[in-house]
Amino acid sequence: MAPPFRTLALALLLGAALPLAPAGAADAPAAPLAPATLAPERIVLNLTADPAHEMAVTWRSAPGLSGQVQYAKATDGPDYVKTPMTVPAVTDDATLAVREDPAFRAAYHSAVLRGLEPDTVYAYRVGDGSHWSEWLQFHTAAGTDAPFRFVYMGDMQNNILAEASRTLRMAFRKSGDAAFVIHAGDLINRHDSDAEWGEWFASGGFLYAQTPQMPTPGNHEYVKDEKARAGSSINGQWRRQFTLPENGPADVPASRETNWYTDYQGLRLISIDSMQVDRDETARKSIVKWLDGLLAHNPSRWTVLFLHFPLFSSEPGRDNPKVRAALKPLVDKYKVDLVLQGHDHGYARGAIGPDGPTVDGRGSTYAVSVAGPKMYEVGSLPWATKSASRTQAYQVIDVDPAALTYRAFTATGAPLDEVTIRKP
């Protein structure tokens, strides 16, 4: 039985052994939850639309507590703690009908630190004035197209702490200097399971509080078998636990913090809510119009689009024709460099142009990957240069003005795949 988040978080912080589900087992039934803690928990950073001058931080605590952030430029010694700046957080004292408790209470806090200096390390802590987290650090983006790297994770979804966490932790071990991590949906399996969300946060622990996490939603973040619309978990757990850019299509209110973009050191990163594209015709039209504008007026040299439902699947029995028909014409028209996807629980990567599969370096590069232990078979794929079955993987993308280098590794850290994209 999966332990509640509080037990997981304390064990992670204290280095205690955790009782985990057996390898390969189905998700354990939900356990009763302990109350949210007085001390801040589930601290996570998110990039804003201006990552050189801002950083968003979100956390939760026991209900009834306020929230504030103290921060300062980090110094080599402890002097930064003497005169920190303090900003109040926006607090949502919520009662949620989660799977484990129909009236679960917790206070969710979020704040955006503004007016920061580019390419600078800041120290910060969160709390209510009496109960504080430890001091943590983050690094703002540079104001120029300086080289950097980021990590791309497919679905963690099942046995998140027991078996998916090793992939994430190996990614941090091998690429600990990553500027941020993107998650291609299905972070959890049951959208309303607070215990599963607790496992996701425990998998990254303090690392989430130092390296921004940038997720796009999958079908498992929504109510199962329900049309993508307001009233699902996106407006419950999702929006309370993350503070993502709110610059999506203005006429699709349900897409706040699911369709978004940010420009980071020469890269335009765009999240597409594939559930809305696939299942809501009105939202699909608005998202396509919004995306067309983002790609037509793009100041960045490189463009990465990421979403959950693949335009090209790694399993022949799974297909997303509505998503492909809506998005591929824009990918081709504007020569999007990378399209990073999840959902299919296998690995595949290839280049595809307007007329179909092509050689690496021509057309746009598409990838499907999975970080967790749930596996689907990978079929014969005419579009894929490289594929792999039953392989948990993470990907590291190095970005500089001359080239974009994509590398995939298995959960043990072994090299799996590599391709370099260059522009004149």
**pLDDT value at residue 54:** 98
Instruction: Find the mean pLDDT for residues 401-418.
Output: 98
Q: How far apart are CA 329 and CA 335, in angstroms?
A: 10
Mean pLDDT of 49-63: 98
CATH number at 70 reads 2.60.40.380
Residues 284, 418, single domain; the answer is yes
pLDDT band at 30 (very low <50, low <70, confident <90, very high): very low
Report whether pLDDT(19) > 80.
no
Task: State the average pLDDT for the chain.
Answer: 91
Q: Which domain holds residue 238?
A: 148-422
Does residue 47 form part of some domain? yes
Amino acid at position 143, single letter: G
User: Does residue 206 lie within any of the structural domains?
Assistant: yes
Establish if 10 belongs to a structural domain: no
Q: Evaluate if residue 14 carries a pLDDT over 70.
A: no
Q: Report if residue 3 sits inside a domain.
A: no
Same domain, 358 and 223: yes
Number of domains observed in the structure of the chain: 2
DSSP notation for 370-412? B-SS--------TT-SEEESS--EEEEEEE-SSEEEEEEEETT
Burial of 40 (0-12, 13-18, 19+ CB in 10 A): buried
- Contact (Cβ atoms closer than 8 angstroms) between residue 379 and residue 312: no
Residues 293 and 334 in one domain: yes
% pLDDT > 90, the chain: 83
What pLDDT score does 347 carry? Answer: 98
Q: pLDDT-derived band of residue 29, with 50, 70 and 90 as boundaries?
A: low
End-of-domain residue from the set 139, 170, 195? 139
In a domain, 27, yes or no: no
Confirm if 37 and 6 have CB atoms less than 8 A apart. yes
Asked if residue 9 has pLDDT above 50, the reply is: no
Nearest C-alpha neighbor of 372 from the set 216, 150, 167, 152: 167
Q: Is the pLDDT reported for residue 155 higher than 70?
A: yes
Ordered DSSP codes for 104-120: EEEEEEEEEE-SPPTT-
Residues 382 and 343 in one domain: yes
Residue 20 is assigned to a structural domain of this protein: no
- Examine the pLDDT at 157 and tell me if it is beyond 90: yes
Largest CA-CA distance found in the chain, in angstroms, rounded = 61
- Give yes or no for residue 368 having a pLDDT over 70: yes
| 270 shares a domain with 165 | yes
Residues 230 and 176 in one domain: yes
pLDDT at 253: 82
Q: Among the three residues 103, 120, 139, which one is the final residue of a domain in this structure?
A: 139
Whether 87 and 170 share a structural domain: no
Q: What is the DSSP letter of 155?
A: B
Domain identity same for 166 and 245: yes
Indicate the helix (H) or strand (E) that contains 196: helix 194-204
Query: What pairing do the DSSP bridges indicate for beta strands 148-153 and 136-139?
Result: unpaired
**CATH code of the domain containing 375:** 3.60.21.10
Average pLDDT estimate for 235-254: 91
* 351 and 255 within one domain: yes
Choose the weakest-confidence range: 35-39, 58-62, 232-236.
232-236
Tokens read off for 261:
């973009």
Query: For residue range 192-239, what is the model confidence (pLDDT) as tens digits?
Result: 999 999 999 999 999 999 999 999 999 999 976 555 443 355 768 899
Same domain, 191 and 300: yes
Which residue, 270, 262, 408, 413, is CA-closest to 330? Answer: 270
Structure tokens at 65: 């507590």
pLDDT score at 224: 67
- Is residue 233 in a domain? yes
Per-residue confidence (pLDDT) for residue 35, from 0 to 100? 87
The average pLDDT across 114-123 equals 98
In a domain, residue 25? The reply is: no
- For residue 32, name the pLDDT band (cuts at 50, 70, 90): low
Q: Phi/psi zone of residue 82: left (φ > 0), alpha (ψ -120 to 50 degrees), beta?
A: alpha
Phi, psi of 358 (to 5 degrees): -140, -175
**Residue where one domain finishes, among candidates 139, 167, 197:** 139
Provide the pLDDT for residue 146: 97
β strands within 114-255, DSSP E = 121-127, 136-139, 148-153, 181-183, 213-215
User: Could you report the per-residue pLDDT of 265-288, keeping only the tens digit for each?
Assistant: 999 999 999 999 999 999 999 999
- At residue 10, does pLDDT exceed 70? no
Q: Are residues 124 and 153 in the same domain?
A: no
One domain, residues 253 and 214 = yes
